[in-house]
Amino acid sequence: MKRYKSENYYAVDPVLMLCQQPGRGVEWTRDLFTGAGNLWAEANAAGLVSGFSCSAMALNRAIGVLSIASQ
């Protein structure tokens, strides 16, 4: 998380952008991260190979994201 924050990856992370819509499911692929700088390459180098994220909206309209990743 420290590297993610220091590189401001949250500003270009396509998963976060797509999951702003509740009920959206996103499979992490190389193509998805085109235009996200070194985010995908650094995630792979750290051992993340695949993943899936989905979003949901709470009663107070807050959106949460559940992500599952594998090596």
Q: For the purposes of burial, counting CB atoms within 10 Å of the CB of 23, is it exposed (0-12), middle (13-18) or buried (19 or more)?
A: exposed
Domain containing 48 — which CATH number?
Answer: 3.30.450.80
Q: How many domains does the structure of the chain reveal?
A: 1
pLDDT at 71: 85
Express each pLDDT in 7-56 by its tens digit: 999 999 999 999 999 999 999 999 999 999 999 999 999 999 999 999 99
Q: What is the predicted pLDDT for the residue at 56?
A: 96
Is residue 41 classed as helix, strand or coil in its secondary structure? helix
Look at residue 18 in the predicted model and tell me its pLDDT.
95
Task: Identify the domain containing residue 10 by its residue range.
Answer: 2-70
Q: How confident is the model at residue 5 (pLDDT cuts 50, 70, 90)?
A: very high
Instruction: Report d(CA 5, CA 66) in Å as an integer.
Output: 19
The pTM assigned to this predicted structure is 0.83
